[in-house]
Structure 1
Amino acid sequence: MSPTTAAPVRHIGDEERRLRLARAHRLSPAARAAAPLEVARSLVALHGTDPATVYLAVGARLADATGTVAGVEAALYEDRSLVRMHGMRHTVFVFPSELAATVHASTGLAVAAKARAGLLKDMVSGSDGRLTPEWLAEVEASALAALERRGQATVAELTAEEPRLKESFTYGRGRSYEAPHTVSSRLMRVLGVEGRVVRGRPLGSWTSTRFRWAVAPPHPELPVAEAQSELLRRWLAVCGPATEADLKWWTGWKVTDVRRALAAVGAVVVSLDGGGAGYVLADRVAAPAGDAEPWAALLPGLDPTAMGWQERDWYCPPAVRSALFDRSGNIGPTVWWNGRIVGGWGQRDGGEVVWRLLDESGGGAAARAVAAEASRLTAWLGGVRVTPRFRTPLERELSG
């Protein structure tokens, strides 16, 4: 019987889900990690759309966060144990390098095929046939050769060696969203999704959004079904129980792919509060041992825990969402107490971390624990001002 039709073997309520989250996501004090790679492996993927999120998400989960920036930079740019690349839902993530082939085969190939087809269609029609697929192939080969020679380069540096990258075409001609697109911006994105280039060291500090590019290190080509099963197995180990809707949303796969992977990993069906069904790995069915440990955390915008599930009521009460999400569904900086989002935080001009509880059910214990975490984060940032890429109502208000 497939996991989508099997009867639930036990019930996992919201309280237990929050206990599992605290430990698997390295958020309770006793579960904190020793190094950035340990955090990344525990979470499977760190959101990388906003560069600062990677560092803040790691720092929140380290027992000693003082060397976070240097440690993450060393992992990304020196020993290459972490890699920044496109992954699920056409989003930029930071993965442990050993997962690059798995992510590429499980999600990147399908997204890359659509991205390249879209680029060719838009480029040819938007240039009235002036820019052809053959022309693009020539420019692409030249740009990759230049990148190979340089090791790392910005788009501006690449266009200095291959000026044809500056060519532009009209996207959405005649429509309300008509706009000029450059070949360089679209091509580098496609090459990134295809796993042929990766983002390298940024220009400026760790909060910079201006990156260099580098040729991607080689990795084996895996069978798609095998890669999907491995990615889902790793994610369920960290985020189970999860619903089918959660899995489809997080991976970006078709529901048939999700169900095939669930069956391949032997996922077990459990019942959830509210009457829904969730899935866990067979070796994660039993309840975690030990009592829950009180904990607070200040997590950054787009944190992988806050963005880990589509169905969020069990950790993000609907009453707090309007203050913490932007209009596109991106979550901002959040305050957590015992596995639930209870508020948000921001920074004043001088770098001080300020916060507000939107749910005060935790009482004085929650307020004291959050204040301690805010002081810890203020000290760790050392005056560096971090402005989230996606601003949310509460973060704007607190930072104003």
Structure 2
Amino acid sequence: MTVRITWAEASARRLERQFLATSAKPRVPVADVVATMLGAHAQVLSAAELSVGVRTEGATRSHVREALWEDRSLVKTHGPRGTVHLLPTAELPLWCAALPAVPAGSVFAPDVRVTEEQAGQIVAAIGDALDGVCLTVDELSEEVVARTGAWAGDLVMPAFQTLWPRWRQVLHRAGWSGALCFGPNRGRKVTYTRPPHFDPLPADDAVRTLVRRYLHAYGPGTPAWFAKWMAAPGGWSSAVFGRMAEAGEIEEVDFEGTAAWVAAGDTEFPGDGGLDRDGVRGVRLLPYFDAYGIAAQPRELLFPGVAYRRALAGGQAGNFPLLLVDGVVAGVWHQRRRGRRTTVTVEPLRRLTARHERELGERVQRVGEVLEAEAELVVGEVTVGPHA
């Protein structure tokens, strides 16, 4: 008999496994929290710091920076969808085997693209140049061109109303291969370095492990949802799920009338086995591109009604910080920092109860604690656009 899972049950389990129903205790390493999220989006580092901090009791941005720059249990590099993420250093053998296994085409014109052979030369040059040092992008560019040839430095890659050198189109692939990660900023300039050397897992094993991890954190899931999360071709994702189903690694469930999948044996949801079905209740504040808002599906249930229009940008999640109320998006918010103070403006999309208002005040204070600032709550319209 097919197990039937409701949205409320799935949400409660996802929030619990994401440390959003119950925060991780201070003794839980920051890197372990990031591992449960399957990476913290870090294009804007303060957003990643908030993603980790709101999940971890007592953690602040200093704890995240210590893990990143001092004990090196975290690494800032290119993760899912080619975007910058914080990933556990210990999990690089997994990520740097699974991510390159995803088929990808080029978005660049034929006269801009590099061949696979050239891409390999660039990645090798980047790894050699960054071994044991931190370089700015201009310094790295000089080293790559010196190791490969003038063709790598041709200014042909359109980017931000200018042209970048040809080699930069495979920058994310260098991150995926373990040849590159971010180093500490040098003043206002970004630097790159090389993470510790490691041996990647076999690619097929890594992909199957990542599917199981995804389903544990965000399941039930479908091949299409996994493909969207990874920016992978749908046909490739379906084939992976098919092979795993045949091998008995995943099993099918009915999720709100949709055929979906969970890891084999992982069918206990709230309402079963003593799990708390009420774990979905309450108020949470999630920052830009938080892992939960990106990965939890289906979008029309997470972003019901007016939230789908207000909190998404053309259907894309992550461009607005999210107010969650009882497990669904019920508003957007924005924080503006001035020195040691930050003003958090929250725009609810539905009427809040007195309990929700109290919780909102507590969540805003927690945002301030994570950012090591004194937070002030303003309830009103958020006037800035997406990703402001």
Counterpart for residue 59 of structure 1 = 53
Tell me, what secondary structure is at the counterpart of 1:241? Answer: coil
Deviation at 1:22, TM superposition (A): 1.9
Residues 209-237 of structure 1 show CA distances to partners (whole Å, capped at 9, x for unaligned) of x5311123222232222111111111111
From the superposition, tell whether residues 379 and 10 of structure 1 become closer, same or farther in structure 2 (CA, over 3 Å): same
Tell me, what secondary structure is at the counterpart of 2:346? Answer: strand
Q: For 1:23 and 1:36, how far apart are their aligned partners in 2?
A: 17
Contact 2:69 2:184 (C-alpha < 8 Å) held by counterparts = yes
1:363 to 353, 357, 363: 353
Tell me, what secondary structure is at the counterpart of 2:292? Answer: coil
From the superposition, tell whether residues 378 and 75 of structure 1 become closer, same or farther in structure 2 (CA, over 3 Å): closer
Counterpart for residue 3 of structure 1 = none
Task: Report % sequence identity.
Answer: 23
Deviation at 1:73, TM superposition (A): 1.9
State whether structure 2 residue 79 is matched by structure 1 residue 87. Answer: yes
1:182 to 158, 165, 169: 165
What is the aligned residue count?
364
Q: For 2:175 and 2:386, how far apart are their aligned partners in 1?
A: 36
Residues 17-74 of structure 1 show CA distances to partners (whole Å, capped at 9, x for unaligned) of 1211220110124556643122112212212233222101001101113xx2222222
What amino acid sits opposite 2:35 in the alignment? R
CA-atom RMSD in angstroms: 3.5
What amino acid sits opposite 1:290 in the alignment? D
1:23 to 16, 23, 36: 16
Unaligned runs of 5+ in 1: 1-7, 126-132, 386-392
From the superposition, tell whether residues 276 and 364 of structure 1 become closer, same or farther in structure 2 (CA, over 3 Å): same
From the superposition, tell whether residues 338 and 203 of structure 1 become closer, same or farther in structure 2 (CA, over 3 Å): farther
From the superposition, tell whether residues 259 and 48 of structure 1 become closer, same or farther in structure 2 (CA, over 3 Å): farther
Tell me, what secondary structure is at the counterpart of 1:365? Answer: helix
Q: For 2:72 and 2:248, how far apart are their aligned partners in 1?
A: 29
Q: Report the TM-score when normalising by structure 1.
A: 0.78
Q: For 1:51 and 1:152, how far apart are their aligned partners in 2?
A: 18
Counterpart for residue 193 of structure 1 = 176
Tell me, what secondary structure is at the counterpart of 1:359? Answer: coil
Deviates more, 1:214-223 or 1:303-312: 214-223
State whether structure 2 residue 318 is matched by structure 1 residue 335. Answer: no
Q: For 1:51 and 1:328, how far apart are their aligned partners in 2?
A: 24
Residues 288-333 of structure 1 show CA distances to partners (whole Å, capped at 9, x for unaligned) of 3234143321110100000013522222214213222234724211
Deviation at 1:354, TM superposition (A): 1.8
From the superposition, tell whether residues 161 and 194 of structure 1 become closer, same or farther in structure 2 (CA, over 3 Å): closer
Counterpart for residue 216 of structure 2 = 237
From the superposition, tell whether residues 226 and 189 of structure 1 become closer, same or farther in structure 2 (CA, over 3 Å): closer
Deviation at 1:352, TM superposition (A): 1.4
Q: Report the TM-score when normalising by structure 2.
A: 0.80
Q: For 1:201 and 1:308, how far apart are their aligned partners in 2?
A: 28
From the superposition, tell whether residues 281 and 398 of structure 1 become closer, same or farther in structure 2 (CA, over 3 Å): closer
Contact 2:101 2:207 (C-alpha < 8 Å) held by counterparts = no
Deviation at 1:102, TM superposition (A): 1.7
State whether structure 2 residue 264 is matched by structure 1 residue 270. Answer: no
Tell me, what secondary structure is at the counterpart of 2:295? Answer: coil
Deviation at 1:118, TM superposition (A): 6.3
Q: For 1:397 and 1:144, how far apart are their aligned partners in 2?
A: 38
Q: For 1:138 and 1:45, how far apart are their aligned partners in 2?
A: 28
Contact 1:83 1:95 (C-alpha < 8 Å) held by counterparts = yes
Q: For 2:354 and 2:45, how far apart are their aligned partners in 1?
A: 34
Deviation at 1:381, TM superposition (A): 2.3
State whether structure 2 residue 295 is matched by structure 1 residue 324. Answer: no
Q: What are the within-5 Å matches in structure 2 for residues 274-293 of structure 1?
A: 275-288=257-270, 289-293=275-279
Q: What are the within-5 Å matches in structure 2 for residues 126-165 of structure 1?
A: 144-148=127-131, 151-159=133-141
Unaligned runs of 5+ in 2: 376-380
Instruction: Give the number of the structure whose residues are more often strand, by fraction.
Output: 2
Counterpart for residue 378 of structure 2 = none
Q: For 2:349 and 2:145, how far apart are their aligned partners in 1?
A: 53
Contact 1:229 1:265 (C-alpha < 8 Å) held by counterparts = no
Tell me, what secondary structure is at the counterpart of 2:240? Answer: helix
Q: For 1:105 and 1:285, how far apart are their aligned partners in 2?
A: 28
Deviation at 1:184, TM superposition (A): 5.3
